[in-house]
Structure 1
Amino acid sequence: MQQFLTTALNGLTQGMIFAAFALALVLIWRSTRIVNFAQAPMAMITVYIALVIIDAGYSYWLGFAAALLSGLLLGAVVERVAVRPVEDKPHINAVILTLGLFIVIHALAAVIFGSRYRSFPAPFGLSGFQLGDMNIALTGFGVFSILAVLAVMLLLVLLFRFTNVGLMMRASAFNQEVARLLGVRVTRMLTQGWALAAMVGSLSGLLIAGGNLVHPAYMDSVVVFGFVAAVLGGLDSPIGAVVGGLILGISLSFVSGYIGSEVVALAALVILMVVLLVRPGGLFSHAPARRV
């Protein structure tokens, strides 16, 4: 019973981390119709900015806020400088560009911050709770991660369903020409989409780094699992991103705990294939409009 509960709670925390990264991918997809494979190194850079501030003697929360703000700025800069020249080209051009940015940002981080492993602090405890004779493997930082991801999911749902900005961002992503005719400032909406997605990506980087060691490649594996989580839930659904992250995190935790960590990647592929065979658009996808 203890092992089952520990495995499940570890999967819950891990799934929320996958969900945080998946939310960033969903946000950039909903607002620009682009999958940003450079999301992980962009988040990693902002985590290093937070680490520099914390190592200088300032509070964790100041570094946390600085990382989120720098992610917001970095996303806007990347969109304006690198992505905008190819925005009117086929979307595959922008996707290939993000793969190039992945390599470039990695190299810059290694040059600026070095490649050695560095410890990143956590604002809350990293030990589980004691309930009688049973140790609950859910840390204070794990609870913070769960609440943070749920809050972001709720805010994104409200943004895209109930605000004019969210509706204009979606209109700009689906059909730029029609959106312009309706008075939407498309370029501004695309910039805002990249900026907000980068800020959510920074949050995922901070949640992954808390209480762990960071280095320029520490988020690379999360790209794969976060992308799988986003596809499982449906790339157009913030709720789906969280559900997909939970399904993936809990499933992989049980696979690792009861079968072996060496088959975790294979299990993720099997889960993705099964879901896409049953529901190709993801669990929370909407039925496409019928063309006549």
Structure 2
Amino acid sequence: MQQLINTALGGLTQGMVFAAFALALVLIWRSTRIVNFAQAPMAMVTTFVALVVIEQGYSYWLAFAAALLSGLLLGAFLERVVVRPVEGKSEINAVILTLALFIVLHAGAAVVFGNSYRSFPAPFGIRGFEVGDRTIALTGFGVFRIVSVLVVMALLVALFRYTDLGLRMRAAAFNPEVARLLGVRVGRMMTIGWALASVVGSLAGLLIAGGNLVHPGYMDSVVVYGFVAAVLGGLDSPLGAVVGGLVLGLSLAFVSGYVGGQLVALAALLILMVVLTLRPGGLFSATAERRV
């Protein structure tokens, strides 16, 4: 029973890590219709910005704010300078460009920050809570992860469903020509979409790094599972990203705990295949309506 509870709690926490990254992918997809493969190294760079601030003797929360601000600026800069020239052209151009950014940011971070492993602190305890005479696999930082992801999900739902900005961002992403005719500044919406997605990605990077060792490739193992979580839930749904992350996290935790850690990657592939076979658009995809 103790193992079952700890496995479930471990899967819950890990699933929220996948969900945090998936939310960044959902945000940039909904606002720009681009799958950003550079999301992980962008988050890694901002996490190292936070680490530099901490190593200079400043508080974790100042570093937290610095990471989010640097993410905002980095996302806006990359959209305006790197991605903007290929917008409006073939969709594959932007995808290839983000793959190139993945490589460039990795290499640049290794040059600037080095390749050595460095410890990243956590703002809350990383020791499991004690219930009676037992310690469960849920930490203070794990609770912080869960709350942070749920808050971001709620904010994204509110942004796209209840705000004029969210409506303009979606209009600019779905049909830029018509949006321009309606007075939407499409270029500005694209910049805002990249900037906000980079902020959410920066948060994901901080949640993954807390209490662990970081290096330029520390997010690589999470990237694939984050993409899988986003696709499972449906790239258009913030709620789907969280549910996809939880389904994936819990499933992989039970596979690792009861079957074998070497089968985790295979289990993720099988889950993805089953969901895409039964529901190609993801668990929370909506039926597209066409009008003529």
TM over 0.5, shorter chain: yes
Structure 1 CA distance for aligned equivalents of residues 155 and 102 of structure 2: 28
Q: Secondary structure at the match of 2:72?
A: helix
| C-alpha displacement of 1:135 | 1.8
Structure 1 CA distance for aligned equivalents of residues 203 and 119 of structure 2: 17
Q: What is the identity, as a one-letter code, of the residue corresponding to 2:214?
A: V
Q: Secondary structure at the match of 1:218?
A: coil
| C-alpha displacement of 1:16 | 0.3
Q: In the alignment, which residue of structure 2 is the partner of 1:115? A: 115
Structure 1 CA distance for aligned equivalents of residues 291 and 264 of structure 2: 41
Aligned pairs (5 A) from 1:18-29: 18-29=18-29
Aligned pairs (5 A) from 1:196-275: 196-275=196-275
| C-alpha displacement of 1:291 | 6.0
How many pairs align? 292
Which runs of at least 4 in structure 1 moved beyond 2 Å after TM superposition? Answer: none
Structure 2 CA distance for aligned equivalents of residues 257 and 202 of structure 1: 30
Query: Given the alignment of the two structures, is residue 33 of structure 1 paired with residue 13 of structure 2, yes or no?
Result: no
Q: What is the identity, as a one-letter code, of the residue corresponding to 2:58?
A: Y
Structure 1 CA distance for aligned equivalents of residues 242 and 53 of structure 2: 30
Aligned pairs (5 A) from 1:86-165: 86-165=86-165
| C-alpha displacement of 1:133 | 2.6
Q: What is the identity, as a one-letter code, of the residue corresponding to 2:123?
A: P
1:205-262, CA deviations, whole angstroms, 9 ceiling, x for partnerless residues?
A: 0000000000000001211000000000000000000000000001001111111111
Structure 2 CA distance for aligned equivalents of residues 222 and 165 of structure 1: 30
Q: What is the identity, as a one-letter code, of the residue corresponding to 1:108?
A: G
Instruction: Percent identity, please.
Output: 77
Q: In the alignment, which residue of structure 1 is the partner of 2:282? A: 282
Structure 2 CA distance for aligned equivalents of residues 136 and 84 of structure 1: 48
Q: What is the identity, as a one-letter code, of the residue corresponding to 2:77?
A: V
Q: What is the identity, as a one-letter code, of the residue corresponding to 1:260?
A: G
The two structures have a TM-score, normalised by structure 2, of: 0.99
Unpaired stretches in structure 2, ≥5 consecutive residues = none
| C-alpha displacement of 1:290 | 4.2
**RMSD between aligned alpha carbons?**
0.8
| C-alpha displacement of 1:93 | 0.6
The two structures have a TM-score, normalised by structure 1, of: 0.99
Q: In the alignment, which residue of structure 2 is the partner of 1:181? A: 181
Query: Given the alignment of the two structures, is residue 60 of structure 1 paired with residue 60 of structure 2, yes or no?
Result: yes
